[in-house]
Amino acid sequence: MSKFLIAPSILSADFARLGEDVEAVLKAGADVVHFDVMDNHYVPNLTIGPMVCKALRSYGITAPIDVHLMVKPVDTMISQFAKAGASIITFHPEASEHIDRSLQLIKELGCKAGLVLNPATPLSCLEFVMDKLDVILLMSVNPGFGGQSFIPQTLDKLKQVRKLIDDSGFDIRLQVDGGVKVDNIKEIAEAGADMFVAGSAIFNQADYKLVIDEMRSELAE
């Protein structure tokens, strides 16, 4: 797997023709499909559920689907998304009564597991579960909406988590989500991220390949 992964958030895709749009962004060079699940309870917005994930698989999407759960509680959705074809499932620690159990559930169901930290969430919840994490996702906006601005304090937080991961010796992806654009992706990578979620930056442009190529050339410099 390549060093840097680009994961377009389908929150900004065209829901009326989602299969085609996902196919197009993968053809344009995306590595992973970032699938935002919102429940109007944990976050103040409502999106799509496991049936849509299953429909993308039936449509023929074979790329990894990275399900970002912004729902509370999480465990029923974990089971349903694993059955629906999710590859990676991440959730917010505040949304689970038993974080370790939810992580184990994801792994038992054959998916990669991750925790998502909101901008103000401290790093302490990572301490005793590092061995169960395949991904740590740092939110660089408050979750719930696409198109917000990157919160600059995330850069420091990324550096701290990069050190935690390197010191742990585990193979854990460091993902960042919110306000990622061509003009800040390099700085975000330098702070330690290696998996980049971008919604509006990609889907609000007519030429997805152009944006993804620009992102990759920023990462290559």
Residues 137-156 that bind ligand DX5 (CB under 6 A): 141, 143-144, 146-148
Interatomic CA distance for residues 198 and 182, integer angstroms: 10
Assigned token pair, 70: 């912004």
Does 177 bind Zn ion (CB under 5 A)? Our answer is yes
* Coil vs helix vs strand at 204: coil
Determine which residue in the list 197, 211, 212, 215 makes contact with ligand DX5, applying CB under 6 A.
197
Enumerate the β-bridge partners of residue 214.
Answer: none
Q: How far is CA 139 from the centre of its chain?
A: 9
Binding residue count for ligand DX5, defined by CB under 6 A: 21
Contacting range for ligand DX5; rule: CB under 6 A; set: 52-60, 90-98, 100-108, 171-179 = 171-179
Q: Which amino acid is at 142?
A: N
- Hey, how many other C-beta atoms are within 10 angstroms of the C-beta on 37? 25
User: Site residues (CB under 5 A) for Zn ion?
Assistant: 36, 68, 177
Interface residues with ligand DX5 (CB under 6 A) are: 9, 11-12, 34, 36, 68, 141, 143-144, 146-148, 177-180, 197-201
Q: Which residues are annotated as a binding site for a divalent metal cation?
A: 34, 36, 68, 177
